Structure 1
Amino acid sequence: MSEKELPLPENEIERLAALQSYRLMDSGEEKDFDAIASIASALCQTPISLITFIDEKRQWFKSHVGTSLTENFRDLSFCTHTIAGEEDLMIVPDANQDPRFADNPVVTEAKVTFYAGVPLVNEDGFALGTLCVLDQKPHDFSDDQIDALKALAKQVVDKIELRRKVTLLEKTNQELINANVLIQKFASMAAHDIKNPLSSIKLTSQALKIRKEILQSEGCLRLVDMNITATENMLELVNEMMAYSKNPALLLEKKQEFELNALITKVVSLLVVPDSIRIILPANKHLLHFSIIAFDQILINLLSNAIRYNDKIGGLIEIRFAEEAEYYVLEIEDNGMGIPESYLEKIFSSNFTLKISDRFSNQGSGIGLSTVKDLLYLLDSSISVVSAEGLGSIFIVRLKK
């Protein structure tokens, strides 16, 4: 039989997609399925019984009783006709007398003469494969044997449906666990990040009070504007976090277009940046399409660390940007304290700290970088670092478009 003559179900494309969703092909033999095949062979009084699944080119045997074969070409398979038909059972009493199979090598060489197969139809109506029995001699197939084969086929379908539902449930449960862990980390990191703008507001407020009461400086208005800007930016960040807390999927799914330098400028306004530190932004304008909530948190953490752990008189932080076919690449380089080589991997571990104080005499919590790494992992993205102790660090973030 040529491939052109191969009978195909009307919903073949959808059927193949459904089959793939079960991940049954080449999934290995299992005792539960072997038991059903053995019962089918015994009840139907045939030496061969198979539980098969059929993809675009192959018929693969999930269970095989009475043969050592584990697969067959689809165009040589009796079951190809079973899944393409509209009946709930196909019987070939004598294949030698059937023009569809008389010249089939399964008949001429393997001497298979009798075939009876029931399509394994899932709950969406797709025939994924068959439960079938075969013999090398013709058979009369009784009504009781037909009923038994159909009942056993239903058991096979029930098993694979249950298995898929359990797999989906386990996946959903794992996603919930991951989301809950991420929420905890995110909340801790967010609380940590909010300290920076609050510190900025506190410092400028104190300076404002001194200038107004003692120096009567005209710079008061500028400091008021700084407070207002910092407060507005912080409120925007809090609103984003509140939206995320109600729907964690927003963090990963809600992508927006934004201009890179504008967002960096907004983030920098949330931080306490000493006059001794200069921040260089990427050259030119760059439009990105990414999760702003996630990008905010990643950038806040990395820039905050670059500022806090910079011990140089002339501190420098340079942000570079490049675009690849599938990724945005962000580099944040500083000339700060640097990280010992033995700790370059450990710094991304939860609760790990270098146990050193920053320029504000505070110690890190060990939460930020691990949460950044987890966020990026969920976004199919990554972070790495190159550093030399005493010279500074370069954090490289690859963001999947």
Structure 2
Amino acid sequence: MSLQDVDLEQKRLRELYSFKLLDTPQDAELDEITKMASSLCETPIALISLIDQNRQWFKSKIGLEISETSRDVSFCEKAISDDEIFIVKNAIQDERFKNNPLVLNEPHIRFYAGYPLKTEKGYNLGTLCVIDKKERVLNENQINILKILSKNVVNYFELNKKKNEIDEAFKSLLKNQKLSLIANLSSRMTHDISNPLSIILNITKLMEDKIDNEEEIDIEEFKNFSSKIEKASLRIADSIRTMRLFSQRSEKESYKISYFKELIKNVIILFQKKMQENSIDFIMNEFPDFVISCKPMSLAHAFYNIILNLYDEVLNLEEKWIKINVEMNSESKNMTITCSNSSKGISEEIIDNIINNSFYLNEVIYLNLFGIYTAKKIIEEHSGQFLYDKNSINNKYIIIVPCNHKTGH
């Protein structure tokens, strides 16, 4: 093995270990996919095999008692070296495998077909494979279905990995910030994670019912289901990135040059789905991107608190909208962000107390305005101003922060 191959294998193993799949209990959803592969390909054995450093371990198995074998006798070891299906029609007649103990002894492999489980980063963790004790050939439809099912396995791995990342980020939040933000952010992320996982479960259940009823399987239907799962995975990836942003916030965070448009976008991602579900109109003007010197996690935290407050205020109203308007004053080099909603605003006395720091803490917490107070302190830490428009008939916050210059980013 060349140095380049050794390096690639080390990276592949790191990717495998990052999923924390090895030696974990059986998973009912993955077992359904394996059962489906066995039924559709008409083979007695189907496996989800993961290639470890010195072994292959079966995360899911149909028709096989053992849970692992040594890597040097593994068919899947050969299958992960390519990105396409790996097929052995009759192992006893194949020079590469005719003396393999898995061919000469139990399970007496003759036919093997495996599709690599390729991650988003491009590493093959193992295979979804089907095995028979007699020679056979897969038709084109069966090969396509095996390919789609292998993608669904990887999507399921990716989603569970992201869910684990959420749990870790949540623990970090819990350690650093014991505020209501934690519960709100965690519940939104858990809701977004549960949907695509439910999609996978429903898909496998639907396909299983079709198999049990001996209905014809439509390859286009399979492709459509797979596409839906991939889109859901991308949506969660955006949310995970934003979750990491909040979990990293700390008092020791240093100032960095950041792009404001990307910063505010990462915050809005967390609310988009909820606003759509609750028919809340969200309006933000188009504006050139600006470079701003800030503590990016802290500043994002401030805008999260503001938008969360705006969201909660309109949730039960008949007229529901949230508006964000960003403008740049070229003379003062200040950026003004106006955040408003369709509610009728906070009492003048309460908002005066928050603006002037003359309030009782329990009063602010009771009114769900502690996040607003936190946002105000972060804005002021950035040499900015946090204002409230008392003349507006609706709730309107005005944030003014110094920034650098316009950029083409």
Q: TM-score scaled by structure 1?
A: 0.44
Which structure would you say has the larger Rg? 1
Q: TM-score scaled by structure 2?
A: 0.43
